[in-house]
Chain A
Amino acid sequence: DAGVIQSPRHEVTEMGQEVTLRCKPISGHNSLFWYRQTMMRGLELLIYFNNNVPIDDSGMPEDRFSAKMPNASFSTLKIQPSEPRDSAVYFCASRKTGVGGYTFGSGTRLTVV
């Protein structure tokens, strides 16, 4: 099992550009979570899906953020347009309902200059 796979590992982009972060959950996991980690707020939940359906997106900071899960093996988090305050590490995690906690990916470090 390769675990939760996120890409890219690092992304540096200019303000105003579109950024797309990608996540492949563990096969068989039916819940997927996007988190953002910053020094000020720690781990913030942005959005989560269950069986590919968005359940709660109240953590998405602004309309500039959007997330999709077109199938059980892929999800994207898009920021358009990006701003310097979006700079953070973005984590994806997946879980199988009824079984323990999450498994996290290695994260994408986003820097918006």
Chain B
Amino acid sequence: DQQVKQNSPSLSVQEGRISILNCDYTNSMFDYFLWYKKYPAEGPTFLISISSIKDKNEDGRFTVFLNKSAKHLSLHIVPSQPGDSAVYFCAARKSDRGSTLGRLYFGRGTQLTVWP
């Protein structure tokens, strides 16, 4: 039961252009969303997050947009750089007050390749 879905396994973008990674979720109880970035032979590292009370969060070149009615979020990277080439995982979490105690539900990831 995949509650978080990343339907594009790969994305290729030219350096300097915008990268848009998409993520859909099915559980309306999710209230916190995160993006992780993973390089080969390393663990995923936290990139950016957004609470369900917001629809946008920006951190430098990275912006996450949340559309709750569509149960959709996206990560925009502008401008894209070759060093951004990695696997990006979308994740979602229910409230800590719930019994799941902060468990993250992950998508399967999108491999982003930024070429010069």
Contacts and interface: CB of A to CB of B under 8 A. Distances in A.
B107 A95 contact: no
A21 to B, nearest CB: 13
A42 B96 contact: no
Contacts of A97: 96, 101-102
Contacts, number: 61
Nearest to B43: A104
Given A100-B46, A104-B45, A41 B104 contact: no
B43 A106 contact: yes
Interface in B33-59: 34, 36, 41-46, 49
Contact of B104 (A50, A55, A56, A101): A101
B72 interface: no
Interface string A36-55: 00000111010010100001
**Interface range, B side:** 20 to 34
B46 A103 contact: yes
A82 interface: no
A101 B36 contact: yes
Contact of A42 (B42, B93, B101, B107): B107
Contact of B103 (A45, A98, A106, A107): A45
A105 to B, nearest CB: 5
A31 B108 contact: no
Interface of A: 4, 31, 33, 35, 41-43, 45, 48, 50, 55-56, 91, 93, 95, 97-98, 100-107, 109
